[in-house]
């Protein structure tokens, strides 16, 4: 079968389109024939700097498609089921074996591309807002990188929860389009200081929660927009840089810095996280929540898909299809 593989860490050009062996189906697993593969931020990091247990290595968290094989001991999954599958690697391929426990049925009426865009983005956004941030009705949230997958999910979830939503993005066009998802106040970080703009919007009170998937200096600067007892949630390093936050900067406002990693949460809190993601899929299928698809690439052009995702041009999800 075909897959996009790497032999060494590197830029998008490290991805090669090659033949790889068909997957075996161990006990407790299912084989899912891919219809759509969602390019996640974690996929980009794994390609650039992740561990390679063997080569060639197939990167990728999320794919959606149809079950073609069911391993021994699996219950609740059958041949022909349409599922979303999440695993630490292997999504950038025509098919892969995944633990059945890390799959979700695709609700009727939901296409594979949008289904693939749900678990990580909406699951992560939920954890940032409600588990780490403790969001309640009437609070104010600042969401960095609002046009990304987690950003778009967080805007919608925060608005449905009754929050005032502020978000940053790199262009006026992106911010204009985010209004349809529930954005109240837009900040173009390419042309203005988000610290000054946020403090002006909140009359210097600050915001109750900041969600930051960027890292680097962006995370450090976000401390300055926190309200008293506000929470800063770190959920990514899109800037490819660490953040040296001085703990004393949090003292005056009795602020909190929290980290969110959905992969760690689902392993330790499976009974809570798995049904939460299933609920997100149902809400998307029912039209309450929306997954925006920006562009689709064939698997043979996975390198171009990664390059486009890293360019920050995308408005929503970047999808790879195996055909």
Using alpha carbons, list the distances in angstroms from residue 129 to 34, 67, 81, 309. Answer: 31, 33, 32, 24
d(C-alpha 149, C-alpha 200), whole Å: 27
pLDDT at residue 143, as a whole number:
98
pLDDT in tens, 168-201: 999 999 999 999 999 999 999 999 999 999 999 9
Averaged pLDDT for residues 287-309: 98
pLDDT in tens, 210-229: 999 999 999 999 999 999 99
pLDDT at residue 88, as a whole number:
94
Averaged pLDDT for residues 155-161: 98
pLDDT in tens, 142-151: 999 999 999 9
17 and 2 Cβ atoms separated by less than 8 Å: yes
d(C-alpha 273, C-alpha 111), whole Å: 22
pLDDT at residue 56, as a whole number:
97
Take residue 65 and report the two structure tokens written for it. Answer: 């498609």
What CATH number does the domain located at 122-263 have? 3.40.50.720
Is residue 240 predicted with pLDDT exceeding 80? no
Averaged pLDDT for residues 300-314: 95
Q: What is the largest CA-CA distance in the chain?
A: 60
- Its pTM surpasses 0.85: yes
Supply the DSSP string of 196-252, one letter for each residue.
HHHHHHTTT--EEEEEESS-THHHHHHGGGEEEEEEEEE---TTS------GGGGTT
* β pairing state of 293-298 and 29-38: unpaired
Averaged pLDDT for residues 257-279: 97
What CATH number does the domain located at 2-117+291-321 have? 3.90.180.10
Q: Is 99 left (phi over 0), alpha (psi -120 to 50) or beta?
A: beta
pLDDT in tens, 196-208: 999 999 999 999 9
pLDDT at residue 238, as a whole number:
78
% of the chain residues with pLDDT over 70: 100
For helices 270-285 and 119-126, give the axis angle rounded to 10 degrees: 110
pLDDT at residue 243, as a whole number:
80
Place of tokens 């021994």: 72
Radius of gyration of the chain (CA): 20
| Band (323; pLDDT cuts 50, 70, 90) | confident
| Band (244; pLDDT cuts 50, 70, 90) | confident
Where are the chain's structural domains? 2-117+291-321, 122-263
CA 37: distance to chain centroid?
13
């Amino acid at each position: 079968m075909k897959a996009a593989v790497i032999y060494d860490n590197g830029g998008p050009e490290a991805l090669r389109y090659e033949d790889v062996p068909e997957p075996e189906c161990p006990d407790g697993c299912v084989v899912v024939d891919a219809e759509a593969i969602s390019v996640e931020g974690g996929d980009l990091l794994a390609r650039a700097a992740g561990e390679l247990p063997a080569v060639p290595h197939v990167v990728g968290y999320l794919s959606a498609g149809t079950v073609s094989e069911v391993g021994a001991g699996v219950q609740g999954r059958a041949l022909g089921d349409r599922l979303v599958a999440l695993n630490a690697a292997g999504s950038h391929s025509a098919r892969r074996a995944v633990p059945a426990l890390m799959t979700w049925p695709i609700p009727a009426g939901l296409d594979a591309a949008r289904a693939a865009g749900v678990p990580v983005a909406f699951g992560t956004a939920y954890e940032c807002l409600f588990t780490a941030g403790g969001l309640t009705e009437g609070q104010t949230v600042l969401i960095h990188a609002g046009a990304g997958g987690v950003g778009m999910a967080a805007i919608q979830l925060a608005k449905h929860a009754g929050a005032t939503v502020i978000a940053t993005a790199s262009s006026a066009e992106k911010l204009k389009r985010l209004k349809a998802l529930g954005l109240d106040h837009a900040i173009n970080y390419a042309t203005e200081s988000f610290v000054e703009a946020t403090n002006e919007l909140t009359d210097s009170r600050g915001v109750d929660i900041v969600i930051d998937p960027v890292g680097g200096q962006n995370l450090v600067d976000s401390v300055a927009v926190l309200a008293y007892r506000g929470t800063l949630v770190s959920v990514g390093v899109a800037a490819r840089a660490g953040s040296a936050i001085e703990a004393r900067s949090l003292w005056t406002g009795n602020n909190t810095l929290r980290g969110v990693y959905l992969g760690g949460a689902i392993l330790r809190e499976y009974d809570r996280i798995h049904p939460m993601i299933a609920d997100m899929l149902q809400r998307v299928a029912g039209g309450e929540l929306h997954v925006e698809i920006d562009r689709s690439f064939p698997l043979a052009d996975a390198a171009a898909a990664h390059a486009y995702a890293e360019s920050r041009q995308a408005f929503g999800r970047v999808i790879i299809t195996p055909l």
